[in-house]
Amino acid sequence: MKLTPFHERTAALNRQQMWFNWDRHIVPDVYTDVREELRATRQAASMGDMSPLSKYVLRGPDAAGVLDRIVTRDVAGLDVGQVVYTSWTDEAGKVVGDGLVFRTGAEEFRLTADPQLVWLTRHVAGADVLIDDVTDAFGLLAVQGPRSRDVMRAVTGSSWDDLEFSRTRTTTVVGAEVLVSRQGFTGEIGFELWVPAASGVAVWDEVAAAGAASGIHPVGEYAIDLARVEAGLLIVGADYTGAGPDRPGSMIELSPGYVASPFEIGLGSFVDLGKPGFIGRDALVAESADGSGARLVGLELDREAIVRLGVEGGTPAVVPSRVWWYPLEVRADGRSVGRATSVTWAPTVGRVVGFGHLPADLSGPGTEVTVRWTLNGVEGDVPATVVDLPFLELRRTG
């Protein structure tokens, strides 16, 4: 396993000594208390180590053209300093991966995602573009929460009020040049800092010290995972299976039967069908016209029914306190109709929730289904109701 550029500091702060394996790295799972860490993200500010996320630089005269052929959104039209969230698909229109594309120069782009080097390399043959895997060259520090602007102001001595969502700016922190992106995986206002690896500990210390007045708290993957579910954000591996050849970034490998199109996992609004020539376009045009595929919905599960199942089975504590990364069967009228993923107790909203992957005719809010509960040795059917996503109001673009 590899260590991130922030590991020297995060290891010292990790009082629980709970670790999370992410791709080929380890990062803290819980520093002190997961509820405290999530509360800091929602009410004040938090700082999390996202460094294991794969990072690629594509540069050269054909970089924009190559990316435009790969991803489902327009890349050539991006301004320098602009970021887009997008997916990319195979010829059958199934999602290979999803992530962020940054335009950092006229002929230079960055991409963050699950491992994608094999897929990217496969599609640059003959093009005047170089791909550089810079995953270990940068630490990625996420500063999230309603007071994250105050933290950034204290760190840099300048205002960040004018940096819009999905835009970047370069700044200097303790002598290191840092690319700052207005992004976040929590649903809150936030920033992601690309920190040169050699400056990781120094930048971490500076952000921690500057953010103390704003109540900043280190946050581990456990709380980040809860935050992304509350915000209605999916991840490859837990919520769908990537259709590409690269290894997964998580230890979880779902069935090949869980490959999905962008429309089936709520990413249809990030598909520009007016853009010609991208991989999978023909399949996605046909699917869009048909409109009969699966839909992504929110599910609210009956907590009391879960507790009753546990009591009857002699295991009262069956409500998952963390995100369950394996799918559960969803049934309606006695038949299997889909699956539920990322089921968890969501502390901020005080409900048991998850993502439902259901047919279009069962995707309307208020639709009642059941989830086949098979956790912690307890089995039974739990009533669930289709609800809108996300599970809480997103503030990240404010």
Based on the number of CB atoms within 10 Å of its own CB, is 290 exposed (0-12), middle (13-18) or buried (19 or more)? exposed
Residue 291 has a pLDDT of 82
Residue 23 has a pLDDT of 93
Residue 281 has a pLDDT of 98
Nearest 5 degrees, angle CA 131-CA 137-CA 139?
125
H/E stretch holding 86 reads: strand 83-89
Cβ neighbours for 14, distance < 8 A, ≥ 6 positions apart:
28, 30, 31, 220
Q: Summarize the confidence of residues 311-326 as an average pLDDT.
A: 85
Could you tell me the pTM of the whole model? Answer: 0.96
pLDDT digit string (tens) for 109-137? 999 999 999 999 999 989 999 999 999 99
Looking at every residue in the chain, the average pLDDT score rounds to: 95
Contact 270, 88 (CB under 8 A): no
The helix-helix angle for 34-43 and 221-230 (nearest 10°) equals 50
Residue 398: pLDDT over 90: no
Higher pLDDT, residue 378 or 185? 185
Percentage above 90 pLDDT, the chain: 90
Domains of the chain (ranges, CATH numbers): 7-53+136-219 (3.30.1360.120), 55-133 (3.30.70.1400), 256-260+292-387 (2.40.30.110)
Residue 115 has a pLDDT of 97
Residue 374 has a pLDDT of 85
- What residue has token string 């054909």? 62
Residue 252: pLDDT over 90: no
Residue 193: name the closest of 8, 395, 6 by CA. 6
Give the span between the Cα atoms of 219 and 211, in whole angstroms. Answer: 14
- Per-position DSSP letters for 182-227, written without gaps between them: ---SSSSSEEEEEEEGGGHHHHHHHHHHHHGGGTEEE--HHHHHHH
| Structure tokens belonging to residue 289 | 């016209």
Give the span between the Cα atoms of 339 and 337, in whole angstroms. Answer: 7
Assign 75 a pLDDT band (cuts: 50, 70, 90).
Answer: very high
- What residue has token string 């409900």? 351
Residue 123: name the closest of 145, 104, 96 by CA. 96
